[in-house]
Chain A
Amino acid sequence: MILAKTGNEAIAYAMKQINPDVVAAYPITPSTEIVQIFSSYVADGEVDTEFVPVESEHSAMSACIAAAASGARAMTATSAQGLALMHEMLFIASGLRLPIVLCVVNRALSAPLNIHCDHTDSLASRDSGWIQIFCEDAQEAYDTTICAIKIAEKSFLPVMVTIDGFIISHCMQRIEVLSDEEVKSFIGEYKPNYNLLDVENPITLGPACLPDSFFEHKRAQAEGMNQALRYIEEVFKEYKERFNRELFILEEYHTKDAEVGILCMGSTSGTAKIAVDNLRGKGYQVGLFKLRVFRPIAVSYLQRSLKNLKILGILERMEGLSAFGGPLFNEVRSVLYDEPERPIIISYVYGLGGREITPEEIEEVFLELLSLKNKKRENIEKFRYINVR
């Protein structure tokens, strides 16, 4: 079926078809609509979900944790300060290995106050032990949300699915949806690892682990993330086989013969594809890498795809405030460190607080990279900005 949906509507629709046992949420722009629309599905009896309107995002994640620990399929959505307020509980969800799915509508973090898109909120949660998958558009958001349930429940890791605030969350797009039965049969029954309410088999959950055992728990959790890419691959593969829709871990656009590349995440990849088309039309061999999975880091994919480039521009929608670039730049650069031949890598911070990015600006970046590709890497200024006054 083909529908016209905004990114938020597409995610809410996927949630309706998933029909989770519990949704606990607190509203925040620009993610509010997801739970607002979902709550009307609850009110209209279209889902069986227990909807818990909590008093804060901290409580939203707490309620999801309690629900998931009691054997329920739990979901929520948030943005920016809401995700920041959840931060403490994010680590508890992942430490308890609870397969919660959280839809993040990317928005800048205050201060100064801003409600528009950048990736600071999601990227600031990168070390919380959650799988993170960035989506380009409403279609990808819909498909990824459904897959996220299965990835989470196979890996026993919580999953964040992100879309770009307003740019995707509030833009109407054409999406193809599956039938309710198809979604139901794809995600299957949730088989929890444990159930806190099972009085026949009592457990202690989240015990105190002092210096004699905490370390081992973290090592075991790390192994969960080490194995996670395998589950993402499995689920994406099955999704393609069943519904003929391909989801990528690292999508490549005109990269085969490219010496010059740009890597980015989220909605900007759509803009960058136009830039690539325009430059290809003029004979420039440039290509785009759209990174979808930021946690776990898709090491093998990045190494294989990027090592033969001469120069790579990393478009980062976050100012890392590290005096050495943001997390996307640093992690991709680190992944390539062991390659004997590796591209020059330049960080381009762009689009903070919803500052628009155009195909022309991305074309300029490509042209700049082309002009720098034969220069000595130590002579090149690595940290650049797009359209900052």
Chain B
Amino acid sequence: MSNTGNANEESKKECLIISWKDLTCGALVRDLKRIKENKTGTWRSLKPIWNKEKCVNCYRCWMFCPDGAVIIENDRVVGINYDYCKGCGICAKECPKKVQAIIMEREEK
């Protein structure tokens, strides 16, 4: 039994799953565009605040962020994507001690 169907036909765009029969075998998602639509940053309790003045562009935060939420433009860190950042604080921990360009703050809800 290979794939039992494909949930991403045009007609089925509105709803992620119409029926179990449309699911790909094995709890996986091939259509990564759909994954992007699923904003996973909504349940954050701490928020990383990035300081442009202090940042030395070492990329440590970008390398360690488990959610790819550190934004890089033209080879420079430019901020955090709060749509997906889950507030784990790894970036703040990994940012060099002497630099401390990221601090964690309580999320305002």
- Against A, the Cβ 8 Å flags (1 = close, 0 = not) of B1-33 are 111100000000000110111010111111010
Chain A residues with CB under 8 Å of B32's CB are: 202-204
A193 touches B20 (CB 8 A): no
Chain A residues with CB under 8 Å of B16's CB are: 212-213
B29 touches A207 (CB 8 A): yes
For the complex, count residues of B whose C-beta is within 8 A of A.
Answer: 18
A193 touches B25 (CB 8 A): yes
Q: Is A44 an interface residue (CB 8 A)?
A: no
- Against B, the Cβ 8 Å flags (1 = close, 0 = not) of A132-172 are 00000000000000000000001110000000000000000
Please measure, in the bound complex, the distance between the C-alpha atom of A193 and the C-alpha atom of B16, giving whole angstroms.
21
A194 touches B27 (CB 8 A): no
Q: Is A201 an interface residue (CB 8 A)?
A: yes
For the complex, count residues of A whose C-beta is within 8 A of B.
Answer: 27
**A223-B20, A224-B25 given; A201·B30 CB < 8 A:** yes
Minimal beta-carbon separation of B81 from chain A (angstroms):
17
Minimal beta-carbon separation of A99 from chain B (angstroms):
10
Please measure, in the bound complex, the distance between the C-alpha atom of A244 and the C-alpha atom of B21, giving whole angstroms.
38
Closest to A219 in B: B20
A96 touches B17 (CB 8 A): no
Give residues 154-213 of A contacting B (CB, 8 Å): 154-156, 193-194, 201-207, 209, 212-213
Please measure, in the bound complex, the distance between the C-alpha atom of A205 and the C-alpha atom of B29, giving whole angstroms.
7
Chain B residues with CB under 8 Å of A217's CB are: 20, 23, 27
Could you tell me the dominant secondary structure of chain B's interface residues? loop
Query: Which has the most chain A C-beta neighbours within 10 Å: B19, B20, B29?
Result: B20
B26 touches A97 (CB 8 A): yes
Q: Is B99 an interface residue (CB 8 A)?
A: no
Closest to A92 in B: B27
Chain A residues with CB under 8 Å of B19's CB are: 216
Q: Is A227 an interface residue (CB 8 A)?
A: yes
Query: Which has the most chain A C-beta neighbours within 10 Å: B2, B20, B26, B29?
Result: B26
Q: Is A380 an interface residue (CB 8 A)?
A: no
Q: Is A98 an interface residue (CB 8 A)?
A: yes
Closest to B3 in A: A193
Chain A residues with CB under 8 Å of B30's CB are: 194, 201, 203
Q: Is A43 an interface residue (CB 8 A)?
A: no
A227 touches B1 (CB 8 A): yes
Please measure, in the bound complex, the distance between the C-alpha atom of A213 and the C-alpha atom of B23, giving whole angstroms.
10
A194 touches B28 (CB 8 A): yes
- Against B, the Cβ 8 Å flags (1 = close, 0 = not) of A260-278 are 0000000000000000000
A205 touches B20 (CB 8 A): no
Q: Is A7 an interface residue (CB 8 A)?
A: no
Q: Is A296 an interface residue (CB 8 A)?
A: no
Closest to A201 in B: B30
Closest to A204 in B: B29
Seed contacts A156-B2, A156-B26, A207-B29; 19 additional CB < 8 Å A-B pairs: A95-B27, A96-B28, A97-B27, A98-B26, A193-B26, A194-B30, A204-B28, A204-B32, A205-B27, A207-B27, A209-B27, A212-B17, A213-B17, A216-B19, A217-B27, A219-B20, A220-B21, A220-B25, A223-B4
- A interface residues (Cβ-Cβ under 8 A, vs B): 95-98, 154-156, 193-194, 201-207, 209, 212-213, 215-217, 219-220, 223-224, 227
- B interface residues (Cβ-Cβ under 8 A, vs A): 1-4, 16-17, 19-21, 23, 25-30, 32, 35
Of the A-B pairs whose beta carbons lie under 8 Å apart in the complex, a sample of 20, sorted by A's number, is A155-B1, A156-B1, A156-B25, A156-B26, A194-B26, A194-B28, A203-B29, A203-B32, A204-B28, A204-B29, A205-B27, A206-B28, A207-B27, A215-B20, A216-B19, A216-B20, A216-B23, A217-B23, A220-B4, A227-B1
